[in-house]
Structure 1
Amino acid sequence: MLSSPVLRCIAASVRMLFSCSSHLSPNPNPSLHRTMKAATEASRTPHLSLFSNPMVPNSNSSSQAFPQSITLSKCFSVTLSPVVVSEDSEVQSRDSLVVVSFYKFADFPDHADLRKPLKALCEELRVSGGIILAPEGINGSICGTRESVERVLEFIQTDDRLKGLRQIESPVSPEEEAIHHGHSNSSPLAAGEDAPFRWDHVRVKLKKEIVSLGMPTVSPTKRVGKYVSPRDWNALISDPDVVVIDVRNDYETRIGRFKGAVDPYTTAFREFPSWVEDQFQLAEPDGQHSQVEANDSNGSPKKQAEVQGEKMPPRVAMYCTGGIRCEKASSFLLSKGFKEVYHLEGGILKYLEEVPETESLWEGECFVFDKRVSVDHGLAQGTFKLCYGCKKPVSDADMEAPEWEYGVSCPYCYSSKSNEEKERARARQRQFETWGIIGGPDKGRRPTVKKDDSERCENQLSNSV
């Protein structure tokens, strides 16, 4: 029986062959695909004997030898020289993929100078994701091996103004790792150019703000609310005198939020200042309750929780996914005269990571802006999927609705899309199903095909147009 490190190496070799073969034909060898899947599963199961070989003894030693030859299918055979593999958990950890979201507000007027060297370093280290540079700082989410990601973060912080990045690390599932390396033929269509897990692909953008409030003059570097650690958050929001506000968008709050939090039902962070000015009007009589109404995707009225008491409450606590939006929102509230403003340090993600589920006041799942779609306590991947028509989360029940069409629409965007938009989405979906995954080294080019496959591929293309 082979040890798990040996199986992991075998699985890596199989994945390499599978990746190469997937670029030779839009329909990879099914038997090879099955073998790759089996090898990958076996590499994660220490006691599964995938390849039996009398040359490899079954022992409890920390190192074993590879077999001389492994036949993967009728078409492929891998010949390996005997290699001794040592079980080194630290090395394995360094080779595993991680996702790190980070940001830092700073006075950064020459931000454009960082773009080219940062992008070049990410491409050299095969780090993917999206990074935003603006006069107010940096904001990003990147994916790669731990060593590569650490090198990128160290490079960013060589600028003294960007030292002390606020970081949140998340695990990577095997499915996400497959997408990152370009080994999956089920990469979601139109999943978002800035989403992590797109191998050999990173975007470094220049913008006016690292998080778009529409008010570049509002700067957390000048004044900001009080940070509250996840461990102290429950006590704060349980105080009846504290108004808790969720500053995320309506499609995020729909799938989860903190118990008793006020939901502004904004569709974008830019709407938050207007909501505050409408919600907390001092001209209204004291003692009245304020209530905001909005329409859901079906046009039906929906009501948010009431804000009791004074129109400008003495204490406000805010939260968002990773902390960046509520940090800027706290600066905005202070500029409007609010006295005590608090925000959750590290956001919901840090809370779900550190606070046990038995003690948690969080209800539902947390939407994330990558291919995980949502996460639960312990940052485990959630149950929601993504509608690639509107890039909003959908549940299993949503996908049973008549408005659901994969890659085209869901119950939340169906009525807002014209027939022309739906037809364009269907055309993209047909193209994706014909030519395979989006991204990878052949992005934007027709796959290389063998002569005997050319006629079949031409027929596929004509049928999809």
Structure 2
Amino acid sequence: MSILVNRTDKNVLKQRLKEENIKRKTISFYRYVNIPEPNELRNELYKAWSEWNCFGRIYLAKEGINAQMSVPEDNWEAFWNQVNSLPYFKDMLFKHAVDGNGKSFYKLIVKVRDKIVADGIHEENFDPANTGSYLDAKGFNKAIEDENTIVIDMRNHYESEVGRFERAFCPDADTFREELPLVIDYLKGQEDKKVVMYCTGGIRCEKASAYFKHKGFKDVNHLKGGIIQYAQEIKEQNLESKFKGVNFVFDERIGERITEDILSECHQCGKPCDTHVNCKNDDCHLLFIQCEECSDKMNGCCTPECVRIAALPIEEQRELRKGRVKNGPECLSVYKSRLRPNLKEILKNNLSLK
């Protein structure tokens, strides 16, 4: 049986997307539901969505689906009908991107995983279906106006760095798995207080709210549809946005601007900036915040060493990467944001930039 994947070079795919003249919708959706045979469903979805020229990143597991996608408007009806025809996904809630830019993904990826969100939870009596209460945008705004309400950001540090709700506790974590125990520790002794939480599209809060109830917290609430749905509702209902800055998203856009507030700074020079980029050195690809001036000076790279490597012929770059182990002592790259190199200090100490 043929393997249902796209093996075309990513640069070719990105160029095709850039030249594309069709309109697309960027959407996200998820559902915790029992899927006995996720591998079979994976192939069924891949075949149909490929035919309709859909792109995106979709994770399936026995516990459900987590999807972020770009769907051509001309094929939207077929896509919608197909998803809702499946018993697992009937009446699915689709969350639409704020900026309306459909060029968010350049290929279709559908993967089967153990879980749709890696959570590190292995407690046998934990019931993920026993979730907290949903809050819409209006209800969420009202809840966080009460100073006795505890507001929790259930996202990673690089997400909350560029945008967050007022008064939110933002854990210094790189993954959802790391974040859960940090939040539990922060909430310790406050089991009777009202807890409200939020994330990008709602899926992490769905699992977290059930986990916090499992740990003894009584009044647990979460933002329905996450920041994506919140942004739509405040626009439609003319409500004040208590979320400030940029909503980090996991696609080619990297961020959606919700308000004009800039909460972060360029990691290289310290100027106000909230533009996330990936280092242009393919053997690094570090996610960091970089202003236009630093981007021009550093050719889109994070350090002088990456500038040097990225300027080499591609054949030489490939030779340098041969035999290297990701995150090993001989590795040129940092790969993961958790390493968080001090870019300002690196540039300050590099004589070649003087």
Q: What TM-score results when the alignment is normalised by the length of structure 1?
A: 0.54
Tell me the CA shift for residue 120 of structure 1. 1.0
1:236 and 2:150 equivalent? no
Inter-partner Cα distance in structure 2 for 1:400 and 1:142: 29
1:209 and 2:115 equivalent? yes
Inter-partner Cα distance in structure 1 for 2:157 and 2:259: 24
Q: 2:172 aligns with which of 259, 265, 274?
A: 265
Tell me the CA shift for residue 229 of structure 1. 0.5
Q: Tell me which moved more, 324-333 or 159-168.
A: 159-168
Inter-partner Cα distance in structure 1 for 2:294 and 2:77: 39
Contact 1:99 1:141 in 2 (8 A): yes
* Superposed CA offset, 1:161-214 (max 9, x none): 2223232112544xx64xxxxxxxxxxxxxxxxxx431xx31110001111112
Tell me the CA shift for residue 386 of structure 1. 1.5
- For 2:43, the equivalent position in structure 1 comes to 116
Tell me the CA shift for residue 431 of structure 1. 3.6
Inter-partner Cα distance in structure 1 for 2:79 and 2:253: 22
Inter-partner Cα distance in structure 1 for 2:134 and 2:154: 15
Q: 1:327 aligns with which of 192, 202, 206?
A: 206
Q: 1:386 aligns with which of 272, 277, 281?
A: 277
Inter-partner Cα distance in structure 2 for 1:330 and 1:393: 30
- For 1:349, the equivalent position in structure 2 comes to 228
Partner SS for 1:197: coil
Inter-partner Cα distance in structure 1 for 2:60 and 2:276: 29
1:278 and 2:205 equivalent? no
Q: 1:278 to 1:145 in 2, by over 3 A?
A: same
- For 2:310, the equivalent position in structure 1 comes to 426
- For 1:130, the equivalent position in structure 2 comes to 57
Q: 1:397 to 1:423 in 2, by over 3 A?
A: closer
Q: Tell me which moved more, 321-330 or 164-173.
A: 164-173
- For 1:255, the equivalent position in structure 2 comes to 162
1:371 and 2:279 equivalent? no
| Residue identity (%) | 30
Matches within 5 A, 1:28-427: 96-170=23-97, 171-173=99-101, 177=103, 196-198=104-106, 201-215=107-121, 218-220=126-128, 222-281=129-188, 310-356=189-235, 359-377=240-258, 384-388=275-279, 389-390=284-285, 392-396=287-291, 399=294, 404-406=298-300, 408-409=301-302, 422=306, 426=310
Inter-partner Cα distance in structure 2 for 1:124 and 1:313: 51
Tell me the CA shift for residue 393 of structure 1. 4.9
Partner SS for 1:359: coil
Tell me the CA shift for residue 215 of structure 1. 2.1
Inter-partner Cα distance in structure 1 for 2:217 and 2:276: 38
* Superposed CA offset, 1:251-307 (max 9, x none): 0010010011011111111112221343344xxxxxxxxxxxxxxxxxxxxxxxxxx
Tell me the CA shift for residue 147 of structure 1. 3.7
Q: 1:166 to 1:395 in 2, by over 3 A?
A: farther
Inter-partner Cα distance in structure 2 for 1:156 and 1:393: 36
Contact 2:286 2:302 in 1 (8 A): no
Inter-partner Cα distance in structure 2 for 1:236 and 1:154: 36
Tell me the CA shift for residue 401 of structure 1. 10
Contact 2:201 2:226 in 1 (8 A): yes
Larger radius of gyration: 1
RMSD: 3.4
Inter-partner Cα distance in structure 1 for 2:292 and 2:23: 34
Given residue 276 of structure 1, which amino acid in structure 2 is its aligned partner? V
Q: 1:113 to 1:311 in 2, by over 3 A?
A: same
Tell me the CA shift for residue 423 of structure 1. 8.4
Partner SS for 2:82: helix
Contact 1:143 1:149 in 2 (8 A): no
Given residue 261 of structure 1, which amino acid in structure 2 is its aligned partner? A
Inter-partner Cα distance in structure 1 for 2:67 and 2:286: 19
Given residue 294 of structure 2, which amino acid in structure 1 is its aligned partner? M
Inter-partner Cα distance in structure 2 for 1:107 and 1:328: 15
Tell me the CA shift for residue 153 of structure 1. 3.9
Tell me the CA shift for residue 116 of structure 1. 0.9
Inter-partner Cα distance in structure 2 for 1:383 and 1:276: 25
Given residue 132 of structure 1, which amino acid in structure 2 is its aligned partner? Y
Contact 1:96 1:146 in 2 (8 A): yes
Runs of 5+ unmatched residues, structure 2: 1-10, 13-17, 261-272, 318-354
